[in-house]
Amino acid sequence: MSETFGNNLKLLCSHYRSIAEVCRKLAINRAQFNRYLAGQSRPTAHNRKRICDFFGVEDYELALPEDQFARLVGARGNSQTSASSGAPLLELFESINQHASDLSRYCGYYFEYSNCMSVPGQILLSLVHLREERGSFVFERQERQERARGGSAEDWVRCRYLGAAFYLQDRVFLIDYESLTGNEMSQTILIPSFKSRITRLNGMKTGVSSGDRRTPACTRVVWEFLGSDINRVNAYRQVMLYAADDPRIDEDVRQRLAGARIRHGLFEIE
C-alpha cells in the first residue's frame, strides 16, 4: 500500500480527537488500523468501503496526491490547527471575557446560511466550528466558491476565518479575520436561543464583498446547529454557493434570509 494512502488517512483522522475514537466508531482493530496508517497493510474491500463511508470520501480520492487531497477536504495545516494560535483578536479582546457570559451550550458545529455578498441572488453555505479553548470561545468559519461548474479541487476559491466569540447581555458577538490572505474582517451578531434545544439562530453579518471594489456590505444570516460531533469531511462537501431556489436549501432558511437584502455601502435592513 502506498504511503500516500496512509498520510491521507492520517489527515482524515486529524479531524477527530484520537485514533482510538476513529477505530471505535469504525469497529476496526487499532493495531490493524495503525498498519493502514503506516502504509504497511492494505484494507480489505469491505474495510475500505467502511472507511470511505465513515469519512465521506470516495475510494479513488484516498489515492490522490497529499496536497491535492488536503485541498479537497479543506484540511488545515499544523500551523493553523487552532483559532487561538497567535490570533490577534483574542489578545485584543481578552479583557472582554471578564464581562462575557458562558457560551458553552452553543459550542459545536453549524451551517451558516447568508446572502452572498459577492454574488447577488446566491446563498452561501459555510461551515462554522465554535469551541472553548483555555477559557475563551473561538471559532473557525470555512467558505468556498467554485470558479466554474464541474471544476477540480484546484478550481475552488477558499476562505478560512478565525475569530473570537462573546456573549454580552442578550446578544452573541463574533468577530473574525480571513486567515489565508489577512485582508478582511467581518462581524456577526446573533440572537441567542432560550429554548432547551438549539436548532437555528438568526442574526446579521457585516463585511466586504470579494469583488474588486471590496464594497462594505451586510446581510442576514442563519446558523443551523449540526451537533458537537459530526462527519466534518462530509459537512465540508456541502460548503458552496446555492441558487436562492435550490431545493437543498430549506424553505424556512430561505424565508429567514429573505427578510433582508444585502446593502452595499449602507448597513441597514429592508
Question: Confidence class of residue 250 from pLDDT cuts 50, 70 and 90?
Answer: very high
pTM higher than 0.95: no
* pLDDT above 90 as % of the chain: 37
Residue 27 sits in a domain of what CATH number?
1.10.260.40
| Domain end (from 55, 75, 95) | 75
Please check whether residues 233 and 100 belong to one and the same domain: yes
Please check whether residues 19 and 84 belong to one and the same domain: no
For residue 245, give the C-alpha cell.
431556489
Please check whether residues 135 and 65 belong to one and the same domain: no
Instruction: Please report whether residue 269 resides in a domain.
Output: no
Residue 90 sits in a domain of what CATH number?
2.40.128
How does pLDDT run across 43-102, given as a tens digit for each residue?
999 999 989 888 888 888 888 898 888 877 765 444 444 444 455 545 666 677 767 889
Please check whether residues 65 and 106 belong to one and the same domain: no
Q: What is the distance of C-alpha 89 from the center of its chain?
A: 19
Which residue type sits at 132?
E
| Nearest C-alpha neighbor of 67 from the set 16, 8, 140 | 8
Query: At 156, is the secondary structure helix, strand, or coil?
Result: strand
Instruction: Please report whether residue 160 resides in a domain.
Output: yes
Is there a contact between 168 and 153 (Cβ–Cβ < 8 Å)? no
For residue 252, the surrounding DSSP H or E stretch is helix 251-258
**Other residues' Cβ atoms within 10 Å of the Cβ of residue 71:** 17
**Other residues' Cβ atoms within 10 Å of the Cβ of residue 2:** 11
Give the residue carrying C-alpha cell 494560535.
85
DSSP states of 158-169 as a string?
Answer: EEEEEEEEEEET
Predicted confidence at residue 130, as pLDDT, reads 95
Q: Which domain holds residue 204?
A: 80-264
For 37-41, 56-60, 149-153, 195-199, which range has the lowest pLDDT when averaged over its residues?
A: 149-153
Instruction: Please report whether residue 71 resides in a domain.
Output: yes
- How many domains, in total, are found in the chain? 2
Q: Is the pLDDT of residue 181 over 80?
A: no
Strands (E), 228-270: 240-243, 263-264
**Other residues' Cβ atoms within 10 Å of the Cβ of residue 47:** 17
Which residue type sits at 36?
Y
| Nearest C-alpha neighbor of 217 from the set 228, 205, 229, 227 | 205
Give the residue carrying C-alpha cell 435550490.
246
